[in-house]
Structure 1
Amino acid sequence: MASVRNGSDGPSSSAPRDLFDASVEAAAVVSADGIVVGWTKGAQALLGYPAEEVVGGSVARLPAVPGDPVRVARIAERCRAGMGWSGFIPVRHRDGGRIEVDLRVSASFRLGGDECFLISGREQKPQWPVGQSILDGFLTRSPVGMAVMDLQLRYIWLNDTLERLGGVPRKQRLGRRLSELLPGLQADTIEGLMRKVLATGIPVTDYEYVGWSWADPQRQHAYSTSFFPLVDADNSVTGVCYMVLDVTERWNARRLLSLVNEAGSNIGGSLDVMRTAQELADFAVPRFADFVIVDLLEPVLSTEGHGTWLTDAGPARAKPMMRRAGMSSVREGCPEAVAPIGAKVDFLPPPHDVNLLINGDPIFIPVLDPDDDLWVAEQPARVESMREFGLHSLISVPMRARNTALGLTTFARSLNPVSFQPDDVLLARELVARAALCVDNARRYSREHTAAVTLQRSLLPHALTGGTALEVASCYLPADETGGVGGDWFDVIPLSGARVGLVIGDMVGHGITAAASMGRLRTAVQTLAAMDMPPDELLAHLDDLVLRLSEEETDREAGNQACTAFLGATCLYAVYDPVTRRCTMARAGHPPPVVVAPDGHAHYPELPAGPPLGLGGFAFEATEIELAENSLFGLYTDGLVQGADRGMDPGMSRLCEALSRSDSDLESLCASAVEQLMPVPQPDDIALLLARTHALGADHVVSWDVPSDPAAVADVRARATRQVAAWGLEELAMTTELIVSELVTNAIRYASPPVRLRLLRNSRLTCEVADASSTAPRLRHARSMDEGGRGLFLVAQLAHRWGARYTAGGKVIWAEQEIP
């Protein structure tokens, strides 16, 4: 109580605290002798008496009826027993009025040593009298259908709403069961639920089901039904009542959302345009339609872009050229179709033109008329199909995504007798919109993949030649469309002294970026190889280049979030010398080469792995091996030996087996090895480079030691001239004499001994002068009055090409001449 007076300063500390916590209740504390000791604000608000007028006085003056001492004594006795009492009693208001109060008396308690009672009251408001006419109107005019069934589940009462929902008149229902009237409305299931309610007495609420009624036999409706038992005064069950609500709109909305969500997981699982179109057709049949066709514009399928059919010379076509990309039917083999998958079609529902695909709304024809003049004139073949298979309802939805017209999807019904409804157009539009995004993604990806593959192939060598040193063959397969181009590359580079450089590499990443980066690295390798760098030094310079490219891409990525950073690459570079049959190689994180001896034994030589390109700060090591003549030397990328379901080691063993079989045709061996290891497309690029070694015999190589005496030049020059003539190359004798004279003279004059001259005859005639000096000569342009400086300039003019390479003991100056 918020305000309590008991004739003293306050209540005793021994009183229960919760008795005085009723500030909003009309309550009073009364002693056993009938004296008011406490009065709340609620009591003052109810009766109008302030606390000072009531506290300390007798409670007997408050009731508006004469006192009944016997009744009061019995109530007090009950409350002393701890049970309390409640009842209605009229009470006198301070203004003289009379109030009906719902009175409650608590069990007795002690307050300051005195026995007391807590009395609370609440005014009894007059209730609204419900007349029979009001009750009848509520039951009969309620928007919820209601019915009462007896113990045999026969109708004994129903309201007007249920009569309208079912379409069966009341007189026909009364005395009959639901299963006898509406057998197609899941009557057996509903009656089973009612029997369960009768047996258990437990209500069943919000049971939803789908069916039809005589009120609308051509359209499915969804209903929500609740059942509860009817009991009489002695709690015995006398029947069951059920209430029905038509929830078709809610059910359709939920079905639409469910189908759209399901479509998201069933359509667009691949990046293939044709497969995505077929997935749309398969998903819609028979969930939504009996026959579905998906026609796509030809540029969409050819990845040439959008709108080609609108830009032909002359006026625009009335109908676009499309191709059948997907179709499905409830009938096996899609007999309703007038064109197979992949055929050219130009179907548009009459009288529509190309604007339907560009900016038109879906076409909704709830009832198809095969006798319509426009259909007969424009689509005679389809009219025959409509008549033969009973196609009676149609929806055509243009496929558009990201402001791009893609094609047209048409849904039709035949076996399903229910025509499409306006709500079905929303579902069709949503399904096609989902599929259109997937088709457009696949189209864009296909275009990018095609561009990347085209770029990749254009940057790879179109023809490989190993000269007289090697017979070479190669095979490259791009990754499947899900993986993208991986940037694998290979090359065969002619070097001086009849040597040949072999290189293979694999970019990190996929797509156009990887292909473009591959082209830059291949160009860099060719440039560095032309400088006759050893393999380990070449990889070191290539590593520096990758680091610089990575920094450039990182800076560009900071201003363009769509840019992909340059990550790195693996590479293997080998140099084969047919004179010595020695092969020097180094690798940067790339798989080792495979060597197959002439007897068919295959193995992988021990070769330090080295770090991948782009890490920086690590050294590369070169290894030299000797290869017997007619040995097979194979370079490959990891995509060939590492599939999705196996590691590197099993793949490398299978590569050895594939290359060990005898096959004189290197091209056939290369192709069969790739087919054997990778019979299906893989998510990574595949590259294989095979080289069969040849040796340059003694009859093709001759060399002489040159004394450190200028007088020896004449003798060496004469020997070289005689050797060239012996090889039958008299036409090159004079130029060879001049080249030998200049190179040997420079070596004697400016370099350190020993000096050695070597002539090689293969596809070109090569003259090499080796010395122990590490200083390279420099080409000078002598002035008219200079006495020297014209030697190397003369060599450069006479030779096809010339250069210098460093060896462990010094350097070699070489010059090549084309053999007529």
Structure 2
Amino acid sequence: MEPEVPPQRTPSSHDAMTGRVPLAVAVVDTNGLVSHWSSGARRLFGVTRQQAVGCPAGELLPVTGVLDRAEEEGRPGAGPVPDCGLGAELDPPPGGSLLYPAAGRARIDEPGRGRIDVLWWAYPLVGPGSERLLVLAADAGRLGGGGKGEGRDTGTVAPAFALHTDFPGYQELAGRLPEILPSMSVGEATRIVAQVLELGYPVLEFSHRSQVPVTPDWGVPRRDPRHPARSPLGDGEATPAPRTVPRPELDLEYAAVRERLEFLNEVSGRIGTSLDLERTIREVTSAAVPRFTDFAGTHLRAAVLAGEGFPDGPPDVTTVWHRVWVEHNDEPGRWDDTVPVGESIAFPEHTPFFRCMVTGEPVLIPYVSEEASNRISGEFEKRDLRPLITHRSLLIVPLKARDVVLGFMVLMRRPGREPFDDMDRTTGAELAARAGLVLDNARMYTFQENVAETLQDSMLPQVAPRMAGCDIATRYLPGARLGRIGGDWFDSVKLPGSRTALVVGDVMGHGLNSAAMMGQLRTAVLTMATMEMPPSQLLRNLDDLAQRLGEQYLATCLYAVYDPIRSEVQIANAGHIPPVLVRAEDGRAELLTLPTGAPVGVGGVAFETATVRVRPGDRLIL
């Protein structure tokens, strides 16, 4: 009998009462401009990251009172600033400069939503970086209370600060604080987190009696119901603890799964926007950094990248892999010499990369020790991977289609970030599965495109530029990309008596069927031309052949024989566009009037031969 597991649920608005708050996070630099802007800030304020970064913080965030007005107004070169679309009404704290953390409540006008109630926390930052202010904000409407006196059973909700050690599970609370921050380097995040913990953890204060730590909406530290909260004012009155669940770990697990599903959904929407193979690879690789990993490198089998069709059999030590793209958030240039983009390489047998591509299964190394790093790097000749993989977390996932490995992705996380675990391995495998499907579509398109180009090139003749008594120039230019392969053809045939036969035709339709019919008709024309048939007789025989091939085979064709001794051209037309004759003496272009027969394949229509006089220097255009 299977154990009964409490059903997982979608977090309700009441979860906000226990600290689960969708947070907006922004960082302000020394010039008072926004330098980091989270996705939560985009959802709360309705301003995208591209619009926010570089804008004055006072135009976007309801914390004008805590910004250093003197610094903003006296900054050299300061001029008019753009209106970034938000206005706020708030009571600023005393003083123009922020020397200690501050919190407040503001009402702002957001386009499309009207006036909303926002809680905010602001931290002054110090250190070598340019970050000088960290701002957290949340929608007070999601906490179940409106303005003052409008709350439900919770009363007034206000932002405040408290020591993180005041709450159960404070170590996990502090350890997950970096996940609140927008994407930034480990050094920046570590410095900011240390200052936040020192200045006070952001909390929600309910009726000035109960304080609950603010966490992002992936999980919530629960209050212990055995220890009722006390008023920070010291009145000794106990307040009920927030609601608990029987097994909080299930709620955290549910939130972690939801976060990964959101990531996969976002990535799926970003990849596959093009059937270009290399562009698809770049999209897949870039989508994983930095949200899922700090480094991502994608390798494809050289045969796949070259468009040589579907690879046969599993790869081995002789299989050549092409490094198509590398994406990372390390310092620029660090990876360029060791793992350059565009390199072709065969991977050694005793490496995790080889194991992944042979087994077709993800390979996870949660922590690459110095011993493991030395062992892996020692398998490669003339390259030292140790500075890049030591003390990192490594995950290699295969890119497969129809159970054949087309390539693999190397994912790594830097020290200080949570190492890859089994759930990350599952997430990476799902990412690779979706990417493999998109890559296979792009690969098949590339292969079919190469086949079409090869077929068309093989069917177009290699016309000699000089024949007896004439010069010939040709050009094949499809009217559309989809029409590159079809039934169009042209040719020239050397005949006895210094004569030259010229032919141009077009099988109706496009695609391989039209190209196959074109090949048969072209061969027939070449054969009959060498038999020195008159143009009209040649088209009659071609018409009979097309009828025997099938009723659906129709083609237009124009056949001409140029005789330089008689200075004449004999022409017969089967429904094709008439030629143009450009006279050399005055440059006048003349559309030749010819008896136009039906296309070959119709049957029962007579063809006639017309004779056109030409002079030296004239040009005949078919």
- Which TM bucket (shorter chain)? 0.5 to 0.7
Distance 1:301 1:191, change over 3 A: closer
Distance 2:601 2:252 in 1: 64
Distance 1:617 1:607 in 2: 22
Contact map agreement 2:570 2:609 (CA 8 A) in 1: yes
Normalised TM-score (structure 2): 0.56
Structure-to-structure mapping, 1:308-707, within 5 angstroms: 317=317, 320-331=319-330, 335-337=334-336, 338-347=338-347, 351-352=351-352, 354-372=354-372, 373-378=374-379, 381-386=384-389, 392-414=392-414, 417-464=417-464, 467-476=467-476, 485-510=485-510, 512-551=512-551, 568-588=554-574, 590-598=576-584, 601=587, 603=589, 605-607=591-593, 612-614=599-601, 623-635=610-622
Alignment RMSD: 4.6
Secondary structure, aligned partner of 1:454: helix
Distance 2:588 2:386 in 1: 68
Distance 1:187 1:274, change over 3 A: closer
Distance 1:187 1:381, change over 3 A: same
Distance 1:447 1:241, change over 3 A: same
Task: Using the TM superposition, give the Cα deviation of residue 522 of structure 1 relative to its aligned residue in structure 2, in angstroms.
Answer: 0.7
Contact map agreement 2:468 2:499 (CA 8 A) in 1: no
Task: Using the TM superposition, give the Cα deviation of residue 629 of structure 1 relative to its aligned residue in structure 2, in angstroms.
Answer: 1.2
Distance 1:476 1:259, change over 3 A: farther
Amino acid at match of 1:267: I
Distance 1:477 1:537 in 2: 30
Task: Using the TM superposition, give the Cα deviation of residue 409 of structure 1 relative to its aligned residue in structure 2, in angstroms.
Answer: 1.2
Distance 2:510 2:519 in 1: 13
Encode CA deviations 1:156-186: one digit per residue, 9 max, x unaligned: xxxxxxxxxxxxxxxxxxxx99988999999
Distance 1:508 1:376, change over 3 A: same
Structure-to-structure mapping, 1:159-174, within 5 angstroms: none
Distance 1:299 1:611, change over 3 A: same
1:189 aligns with 2:193: no
Distance 2:385 2:493 in 1: 63
> Where does residue 298 of structure 2 map in the other structure?
294
2:217 to 198, 222, 239: 222
Secondary structure, aligned partner of 1:215: helix
Secondary structure, aligned partner of 1:300: helix
Distance 1:358 1:603, change over 3 A: farther
Task: Using the TM superposition, give the Cα deviation of residue 397 of structure 1 relative to its aligned residue in structure 2, in angstroms.
Answer: 0.9
Secondary structure, aligned partner of 1:222: coil
Secondary structure, aligned partner of 1:474: coil
Encode CA deviations 1:425-449: one digit per residue, 9 max, x unaligned: 2332222222323333443444444
Distance 1:217 1:535, change over 3 A: farther
Amino acid at match of 2:502: L
Distance 1:366 1:270 in 2: 34
Task: Using the TM superposition, give the Cα deviation of residue 324 of structure 1 relative to its aligned residue in structure 2, in angstroms.
Answer: 1.0
Secondary structure, aligned partner of 2:419: coil
Distance 1:483 1:288 in 2: 42
Contact map agreement 2:463 2:492 (CA 8 A) in 1: no
Distance 1:187 1:394, change over 3 A: same
Distance 1:179 1:511, change over 3 A: same
Contact map agreement 2:569 2:613 (CA 8 A) in 1: yes
Contact map agreement 2:488 2:507 (CA 8 A) in 1: yes
Distance 1:525 1:203 in 2: 93
Distance 1:443 1:499 in 2: 47
Normalised TM-score (structure 1): 0.44
Contact map agreement 1:401 1:440 (CA 8 A) in 2: yes
Contact map agreement 1:320 1:354 (CA 8 A) in 2: no
Contact map agreement 1:495 1:530 (CA 8 A) in 2: yes
Amino acid at match of 2:558: L
Task: Using the TM superposition, give the Cα deviation of residue 605 of structure 1 relative to its aligned residue in structure 2, in angstroms.
Answer: 1.0
Higher-helix-fraction structure? 1
Distance 1:179 1:384, change over 3 A: same
Distance 1:581 1:369 in 2: 87
Distance 1:202 1:604 in 2: 90
Distance 1:620 1:202 in 2: 94
Distance 1:189 1:439, change over 3 A: closer
Distance 2:392 2:563 in 1: 79
Encode CA deviations 1:591-617: one digit per residue, 9 max, x unaligned: 443433325736351456765555556
Greater relative contact order (CA < 8 Å, ≥ 6 in sequence):
2
Contact map agreement 2:580 2:592 (CA 8 A) in 1: no
**Count of residue pairs brought into register by the alignment:** 424
Contact map agreement 1:453 1:478 (CA 8 A) in 2: no
Distance 2:541 2:294 in 1: 66
Distance 2:331 2:480 in 1: 32
Which residues of structure 2 form unaligned runs of 5+?
1-13, 20-103, 106-118, 125-132, 155-168, 180-215, 221-238
Structure-to-structure mapping, 1:15-30, within 5 angstroms: none
Task: Using the TM superposition, give the Cα deviation of residue 527 of structure 1 relative to its aligned residue in structure 2, in angstroms.
Answer: 2.7
Which residues of structure 1 form unaligned runs of 5+?
1-143, 150-175, 205-211, 226-238, 552-565, 636-820
